[in-house]
Every structure is written in structure tokens, then in C-alpha cells.
């Protein structure tokens, strides 16, 4: 007798439960569980039938590595780890409207001059895609375009000896396998379609781009499971109202993660930003208290960004802490250290912290810059306009060395900064000491920062 024919699947993490619930026990997401038709029967085990013996080989093969395919969009190539690896699958995630289709239209148009390229859109009609290409002046590119959603049709079309070298599926949430009874976009559908397409890509050796939408919580809808299946996961992010777009590698089997590419959305598509620091600092107004320039590292690149803090008296019993672009628990830590180790209590104040330009910073090296911005705002003494700051803060208030300080200082010097507020003890290793043309203010303890921004009237 068959058991129940439906099951309940969390659309965030793919966990399966027998009953519906408001909250997924596996990942903690709310309202993410939906009913799907049960697909697999109960596992039967292997039985007595023997399998084939697997041949083992050594690590050192002599097959020549396949050359990587360069799109010609430098920022994209770098984030992908130095070009696209044939036979690999890349997931490009991002909010609707952020520019995923735009980026892939541009990339495929450039690739089409080197290799055969296929663009399959499940979301837009052929005319809409054409319209976009025309707007960007790419309508002459030799891209094979189709509007399709049936997995069976797509696989039969592509599974040939003369398969294209690059395939874009826009988006994986619109694809539909007729063997699965749930609706497109559900975990089972997305997983089945992705699995088949990735297998095909490996077999035929083409580069597969899967476009995936991101939910409000910031994960690729449905398939956190999808992230395990693909070789590379790229997120396209940016603040609405800003024209910058950041392409971030969060997983890459063929290159470094944490690498970012910076683009600017223009009326003719995405333009690469060769000098992101200049862009992020473009709207900075010097000599305002609470503003501080952080010299950060994103992937392999140094990047200068402005950190803005506003400390204002609060009328609330639990004052407001609002953070954009940084970790709010990290802010709580810096505030606690300022209070407990330096005697600067901000518990009666609202604190707002903002990383200007829509970048999201995850490095602990930003601690000192955040602290400097907070102290500067609280004392209403501006951080010198030509000063960059970096350093990690420990719980006892000590300022710790961070990696690649030379690279950070070099970038600052290039952009015309003259002073650096940096950890007093340089990290041991090959890149210590050399400050270049910058004047260095070494900071050993957070207390010293308070000394630098003391209001003149109280002295």
C-alpha cells in the first residue's frame, strides 16, 4: 500500500517534513514550507546485485588543463577565478531587477564572437530579450536565443555532439521537468532541473550559467541546495537607488572566494568600474564629524570606503542601533569596548552606522574605522579628510594588526591620502613596515583614538 502521496518541503533549505509547520525546524525560516507531491519511494537499499569495481588513479594526471574562456568583462572574469572553466556550472543569484539578465546578455554577446553561445530565457519573451540587447547596442552579436521552460526540450536540444560552449538558463526557477509534479520554482523542480542541466554541462563540456532569484532573506530562493550542486556561486548585489552593482563570489571551486567585481548600471547596460575606491569616495564631503575612510581588502583588491556614524541623543528607553553595510553585532561589540575600556558610554544615544555607496563589509579590520567614526561623531571633531583607518579591535580594547597593510596603504597613497591610523604592532611576515609616502599614526589601544578626537573646548 502506498503511503501518503504528499510531503512538505522547506523552500529555503530543502528539508522534508511529514506535516506542515509555520517554521522550518532545520533552518529556522518562517513560512517557507509548502506541500509538494512525494517523488521518491522509500529507499530499498542496494540488494545483492554487485556493482562494477572502481579504478583509482593518482593525483598527478598528465591531461593538459583546458584553457579558460575569457568573457572580456574583466570584473566578471576575475570574480570567476580568471575566466570560465569549460564544463562548470555557475549560479548567478540576486534580487529581481538587480541586473542579472543584463550582465549575462553582455557576457554572452562578447563570448559569441569566440564560441557558440545559447541564451534560454524562461522569464521573458524573445522580443523582450531582443529589446534589451538593442538598447545596449548588442543586437548584432551571434547569440542563439530561445524562450523555453521545458527541461525535456532543452536537454534534447543541447545534448548533441555540436553542443554550444556556453549556455545561459534565465532563470532556473522558471524551468519545469514534466516528471516532477510540483510547480516550477519549488525545491524539487529547481533541484531536478539543475541536476539534469549540470550533468549535461559536464558531459558536453559547456559552461552553464544558472540565474537564480534571491528571497527577501538574501538566500537564493528555494535552492540553498543548489549551492552545493554548482561549482561557483556568484551573488549580484547593490543598494536600490545606487547605480553600483557588486558581483561577489561566495563559492568557487576554481578560484578564490570573497573576490568582488564592481559595476555601474548605465542606460547602456553595465559598465566596469576600474577604480572602485574613487567611486566609493566620490560623494564624500571632507571635514564632517562621524565620517572616516576605511582601507579595506575585498578578495585580492584594496578598496577604500567611507564609514559614516551618527551618534545622537535618544529619547527612547532602548536607544536605536541602525546599521547598513556592516554587522550589527560587531557594532555592539565596538560600543561595548568603547564603554568598558575607554569610558565612552553611548548607551543613552541612538547610533546609526552606514557604509557609504552600498558596499557590505565583513572584515574585522574595519573595527578601528568604525570606532574612529563613532568617537568623531560623539565628540563632533572631524577625522582629518586625508586620513585612512584600519585595524581590528580586541575585547580588552587593544588594536590588533591586520593582513596586507602594505596593500591598503599603497591604495590610500594612490588616491591622495596622506595619513594612516593603523595598528601599532605590524603583523609579522613579509609585508610589515613599509608605509610608503604616508604618515603613520600607530594606535596600540582604543583609548588613544579618544585622545585624538578630543573637543578643543575641554582641553
Give the binding site for ligand TYD (CB under 6 A). Answer: 94, 96-102, 132, 135-136, 265, 267-269
Least Cα distance to 362 among 277, 264, 296, 292 occurs for 296
Closest to ligand TYD by CB, 155 or 250: 250
| Stretch binding Mg ion (CB under 5 A), from 94-102, 270-278, 365-373, 422-430 | 94-102
Binding at 68: pick from Mg ion, ligand TYD, none (beta carbon under 5-8 Å per type): none
Residue ranges with strand state E in 365-456: 387-389, 392-393, 399-400, 419-423, 439-443
Q: Please, what is the minimum distance in Å from the beta carbon of residue 92 to ligand TYD?
A: 9
Closest to ligand TYD by CB, 101 or 189: 101
User: Residue 295, SS3?
Assistant: strand
Which cell numbers hold the place of 91? 549560479
| Stretch binding Mg ion (CB under 5 A), from 99-107, 137-145, 174-182, 309-317 | 99-107
Which cell numbers hold the place of 366? 574595519
Binding at 132: pick from Mg ion, ligand TYD, none (beta carbon under 5-8 Å per type): ligand TYD
User: Exposed (0-12), middle (13-18) or buried (19+): which is 258, by Cβ within 10 Å?
Assistant: middle
Closest to ligand TYD by CB, 270 or 402: 270
DSSP character for 173?
G
Closest to Mg ion by CB, 28 or 96: 96
Closest to ligand TYD by CB, 191 or 245: 245
| Stretch binding Mg ion (CB under 5 A), from 93-101, 129-137, 232-240, 418-426 | 93-101
Taking the C-alpha atoms of residue 247 and residue 255, their distance in angstroms, rounded to an integer, is: 14
Distance from first CA to last CA of the chain, Å, rounded?
Answer: 86
Q: Residue 20 contacts by C-beta under 8 Å, 6 or more apart in sequence?
A: 8, 33, 35
Q: How many CA atoms lie within 13 A of 187 on its CB side?
A: 23
Residue ranges with strand state E in 282-333: 291-298, 301-313, 321-324
Q: Which residue is nearest to Mg ion (CB)?
A: 101
Q: Please, what is the minimum distance in Å from the beta carbon of residue 76 to ligand TYD?
A: 14
Binding at 136: pick from ligand TYD, Mg ion, none (beta carbon under 5-8 Å per type): ligand TYD
Which residues partner with 236 through β-bridges? Answer: 94, 247
**Beta carbons within 10 angstroms of residue 82's beta carbon:** 14
Judged by CB under 5 A, does residue 102 bind Mg ion?
Answer: no
**Beta carbons within 10 angstroms of residue 124's beta carbon:** 15
Q: Please, what is the minimum distance in Å from the beta carbon of residue 284 to ligand TYD?
A: 25
Q: Please, what is the minimum distance in Å from the beta carbon of residue 193 to Mg ion?
A: 17
Q: Please, what is the minimum distance in Å from the beta carbon of residue 347 to ligand TYD?
A: 42
Closest to Mg ion by CB, 7 or 132: 132
User: Exposed (0-12), middle (13-18) or buried (19+): which is 446, by Cβ within 10 Å?
Assistant: buried
Closest to Mg ion by CB, 124 or 350: 124
Alpha helices (H) in 141-229, listed in sequence order? 151-158, 187-204, 224-229
Q: Please, what is the minimum distance in Å from the beta carbon of residue 216 to ligand TYD?
A: 15
Q: Please, what is the minimum distance in Å from the beta carbon of residue 267 to Mg ion?
A: 17
Closest to Mg ion by CB, 67 or 97: 97
Report whether 79 contacts 209 (CB < 8 A): no
Report whether 279 contacts 333 (CB < 8 A): no
Q: Please, what is the minimum distance in Å from the beta carbon of residue 97 to ligand TYD?
A: 5
Q: Please, what is the minimum distance in Å from the beta carbon of residue 245 to ligand TYD?
A: 9
| Stretch binding Mg ion (CB under 5 A), from 25-33, 100-108, 286-294, 342-350 | 100-108
Selected from 11, 101, 186, 232, the binder of Mg ion by CB under 5 A is: 101
The residue to which cell 613579509 is assigned: 430
Taking the C-alpha atoms of residue 292 and residue 314, their distance in angstroms, rounded to an integer, is: 23
Binding at 265: pick from Mg ion, ligand TYD, none (beta carbon under 5-8 Å per type): ligand TYD
Binding at 93: pick from Mg ion, ligand TYD, none (beta carbon under 5-8 Å per type): none
User: Residue 278, SS3?
Assistant: helix
Closest to ligand TYD by CB, 236 or 326: 236
| Stretch binding Mg ion (CB under 5 A), from 63-71, 98-106, 196-204, 345-353 | 98-106
Closest to ligand TYD by CB, 263 or 294: 263
Between strands 392-393 and 399-400, the pairing is antiparallel
Q: Please, what is the minimum distance in Å from the beta carbon of residue 123 to ligand TYD?
A: 8
Taking the C-alpha atoms of residue 15 and residue 111, their distance in angstroms, rounded to an integer, is: 38
Q: Which residues would be at the binding site for Mg ion (CB under 5 A)?
A: 101
Amino acid at each position: 500500500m502506498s503511503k501518503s502521496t504528499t510531503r512538505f518541503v522547506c523552500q529555503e533549505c530543502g528539508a522534508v517534513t511529514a506535516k506542515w509547520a509555520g517554521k522550518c525546524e532545520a533552518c529556522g525560516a518562517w513560512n517557507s514550507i509548502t506541500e509538494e507531491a512525494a517523488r521518491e519511494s522509500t529507499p530499498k537499499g542496494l540488494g545483492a546485485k554487485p556493482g562494477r569495481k572502481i579504478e583509482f588513479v593518482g593525483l598527478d594526471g598528465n591531461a593538459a588543463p583546458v584553457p579558460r574562456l575569457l568573457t572580456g568583462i574583466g570584473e566578471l572574469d576575475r570574480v570567476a577565478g580568471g575566466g570560465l572553466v569549460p564544463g562548470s556550472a555557475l549560479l548567478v543569484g540576486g534580487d529581481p531587477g538587480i541586473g542579472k539578465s543584463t550582465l549575462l546578455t553582455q557576457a554572452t554577446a562578447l563570448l559569441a564572437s569566440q564560441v557558440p553561445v545559447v541564451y534560454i530565457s524562461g522569464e521573458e519573451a524573445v522580443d523582450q530579450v531582443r529589446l534589451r540587447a538593442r538598447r545596449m547596442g548588442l543586437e548584432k552579436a551571434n547569440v542563439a536565443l530561445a524562450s523555453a521552460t521545458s527541461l525535456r526540450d532543452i536537454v534534447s536540444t543541447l545534448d548533441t555532439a555540436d553542443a554550444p560552449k556556453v549556455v545561459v538558463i534565465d532563470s532556473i526557477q522558471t524551468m519545469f521537468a514534466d516528471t516532477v509534479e510540483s510547480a516550477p520554482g519549488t525545491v524539487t523542480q529547481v533541484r531536478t532541473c539543475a541536476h539534469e542541466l549540470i550533468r549535461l554541462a559536464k558531459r558536453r563540456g559547456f559552461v552553464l550559467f544558472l540565474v537564480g532569484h534571491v528571497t527577501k532573506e538574501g538566500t537564493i530562493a528555494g535552492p540553498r541546495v543548489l549551492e552545493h550542486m554548482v561549482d561557483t556561486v556568484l551573488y549580484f548585489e547593490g543598494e536600490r537607488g545606487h547605480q553600483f552593482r557588486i558581483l561577489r563570489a561566495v563559492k568557487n571551486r576554481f578560484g578564490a572566494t570573497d573576490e568582488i567585481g564592481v559595476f555601474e548600471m548605465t542606460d547602456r547596460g553595465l559598465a566596469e568600474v576600474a577604480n572602485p575606491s574613487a567611486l566609493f569616495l566620490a560623494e564624500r564631503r571632507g571635514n564632517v564629524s562621524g565620517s572616516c575612510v576605511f582601507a579595506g581588502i575585498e578578495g585580492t583588491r584594496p578598496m577604500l570606503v567611507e564609514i559614516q556614524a551618527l551618534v545622537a541623543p535618544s529619547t527612547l528607553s532602548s536607544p536605536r542601533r541602525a546599521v547598513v553595510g556592516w554587522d550589527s553585532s560587531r557594532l555592539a561589540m565596538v560600543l561595548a569596548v568603547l564603554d568598558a575600556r575607554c569610558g565612552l558610554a553611548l548607551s543613552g544615544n541612538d547610533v546609526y552606522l552606514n557604509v557609504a555607496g552600498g558596499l557590505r563589509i565583513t572584515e574585522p579590520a574595519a573595527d578601528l574605522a568604525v570606532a574612529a567614526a563613532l568617537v568623531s561623531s560623539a565628540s563632533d571633531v572631524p577625522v582629518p579628510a586625508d586620513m585612512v583607518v584600519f585595524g581590528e579591535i580586541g575585547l580588552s580594547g587593544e588594536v590588533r594588526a591586520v593582513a596586507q597593510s602594505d596593500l591598503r596603504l599603497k591604495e590610500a597613497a594612490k588616491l591622495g591620502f596622506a595619513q594612516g591610523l593603523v595598528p601599532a604592532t605590524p603583523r609579522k611576515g613579509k609585508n610589515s613596515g613599509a608605509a610608503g609616502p604616508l604618515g603613520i599614526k600607530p594606535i596600540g589601544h582604543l583609548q588613544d583614538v579618544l585622545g585624538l578626537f578630543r573637543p578643543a573646548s575641554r582641553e
